Structure 1
């Protein structure tokens, strides 16, 4: 029993705290922009299910905390369905009911009767609140930790690997890949990971010579203590610092930290979409996609890693806080990306419908919405099942079905 409680504290609690925090910020984005446009709001809920505590403010908004901490939601007055995009018939019915209750003009306070550009901004505010949160968290991290750079210097080359076949040697300095400059070891690693089975031309400085070496990354099975077991593209060389000039560190002022945070966020978004694109064209298997179990494992992994050092409690607490902020920033970026996908049940799907309405001057027909939402639910359910299957394989379950081994 004690062991179970310990595992729950390490894996489940950090996951729920991070998820609820990020989803609350997402919904707060919707809420604040909706309120700025004068939209009537019924409820803002943190969590789902039965209410633990609630209060209603002077504007009639019920603020509540529910018992199931898996996110939250904001409910606009007059929502007819989960889509928040009723068709012409539904709008006419809602309008007549609102006028009957509040008189002519009362419908102007309702989300569905706001101009389409306002509705689009309200919907987009959720994902962009996630990006804003990530930028704030990354700015804090870079302000506290500063900027560390490790040059892409080859430290070790494993025998029988693509790097060895290409002729890499220890002390080689990688300066470019396919003509794109490389200044940090992380740049090289990220490029290799997203280039499985692609020929890469490395520009290398070896002493006073400049060479071009060609290697093709291959997938190898790795067991990462944080992300779990997965096939990852590698070339078989380890990068790191071998001399003093290979490592640099500097503290960042607030403006520099914001810029570094923005660069990191843009790089994460770009890398994510590149990975998704490679999945669609069949160049990636998608086994690095994580579902709830994978995120929970990662949350537990970073928690254990943060407190694994021998240090005073205050230092461990600070390290845990900074690690948690970094993890929350990454998850927040991921949530923003997912919600902008053009799937009808997500914010991106709403924006797609509003785009049609802006051009056609009328809402999407009810039949099209119904089909769109069925397809969207199927796509989302399929994505979740696929990600959960990945999670189970990374946790070394179901090996008998031919999973990762």
Structure 2
């Protein structure tokens, strides 16, 4: 039976995921700006017209805006929410000018911009640390216990007792490393290195494909090697080991994201897999209905995604600003304002087109286009 979390629970879950993560991201910018002595004029959750807000004693306007799909901190000296420099900052009195964002040295501006994504990563690491402390760390060795007949592993000649040492030239330490590598490489030919009774061997294998339908009716296709591991090994994690485990898991998630994005760009993976806010909302509702652990883990994943995406060198995003700062550091002077202006316009257009595209994908994933085609037909 297919379960659905319901519209109200889905909306609530989406707000509980996106709202705090946007706040944490922008708070990273805000606190770094405070540390560097920059005045924040606006701290906004959402874009567009203000719904409600309050001004604190430092003159910062804290507000909620009607489009809650992001946020921004507008510092003194910024022309707009995209942190483009306002030429008028040079005409301010010396005391006021010293509190503007453009007046700060390059390294401080870079810290302020990078603080948002870094805080998202930090939040995810803290969540993963908590999971490690509560549930331990699975370190099942990459040893084959059983080979599924007619599977990719069987065709490659793997046998029970083989210890997998590398996939595609990448070393593996646990069975989770094997699973993570294989899942995103359905139908790909990869090289598998393994140890059999002390002898190193190497084979080529074409990873199989398996479709799975979850309790909500979502269908997923993933790569399958066709082996079963030894009994899972769960290691208790102490306070000193928890950050190491969390950092490793965060690294693994980022690597998987980068590789998956590369597969989309190289057309080895369909662009239909790209999702946007609607799909995040759907998944949020599903995960919160499963339980608090699944929902909190989703928050960690989305936080890592938010941090990663914002570090991409695209104008309008934090990574775009850092890219311009890198050019400034190399050339010893800021990028021409006109060039920045056109870059920001192009970045904004690209982001709008991308949002329209992923929304189109989301609606397709929900079956809207099939239903419309059925009505028309």
Q: TM-score range by the shorter chain?
A: 0.7 to 0.9
2:183 is matched with which residue? 193
Give the drift of 1:376: 1.2
1:262 is matched with which residue? 247
1:20 is matched with which residue? 19
2:228 is matched with which residue? 239
Structure 1 gaps of 5+ residues are 307-319
2:172 is matched with which residue? 182
Could you say what the CA RMSD is over the residues aligned between the two structures, in angstroms?
3.1
State TM-score, norm by structure 1. Answer: 0.80
174-183 vs 263-272, which deviates more? 174-183
1:61 is matched with which residue? 60
Distance in 2 separating the partners of 1:219 and 1:344: 38
Q: What is the aligned counterpart of 2:104 among 114, 122, 131?
A: 114
Contact 1:230 1:288 in 2 (8 A): no
Is 1:80 matched up with 2:69? no
Give the drift of 1:379: 2.4
Q: What is the aligned counterpart of 1:295 among 262, 276, 280?
A: 280
Distance in 1 separating the partners of 2:350 and 2:140: 41
Distance in 2 separating the partners of 1:233 and 1:250: 27
1:46 is matched with which residue? 45
2:258 is matched with which residue? 273
1:157 is matched with which residue? 148
Change (3 A) 1:206 1:395: farther
Give the drift of 1:173: 4.8
104-113 vs 33-42, which deviates more? 104-113
Give the drift of 1:332: 0.6
Distance in 2 separating the partners of 1:328 and 1:259: 20
Give the drift of 1:238: 4.9
1:351 is matched with which residue? 322
Please give the residue correspondences for 1:21-36 in structure 2 after superposition, counting only pairs within 5 Å.
21-36=20-35
Distance in 2 separating the partners of 1:227 and 1:256: 38
| Matched residues, number | 369
Change (3 A) 1:85 1:71: closer
| 4+ long deviations beyond 6 Å | 206-210
Give the drift of 1:144: 1.3
Change (3 A) 1:393 1:150: farther
Change (3 A) 1:179 1:358: closer
Contact 1:55 1:62 in 2 (8 A): yes
Give the drift of 1:387: 2.9
1:143 is matched with which residue? 133
Distance in 1 separating the partners of 2:368 and 2:147: 33
Distance in 2 separating the partners of 1:156 and 1:225: 27
Give the drift of 1:42: 1.5
Structure 2 gaps of 5+ residues are none
Q: Could you give the per-residue CA deviations for residues 335-381 of structure 1, whole angstroms, max 9, x where no partner exists?
A: 01100111101011111122233334443323322321232123223
1:340 is matched with which residue? 311
Contact 1:230 1:394 in 2 (8 A): no
2:363 is matched with which residue? 392
State TM-score, norm by structure 2. Answer: 0.85
Change (3 A) 1:169 1:125: same
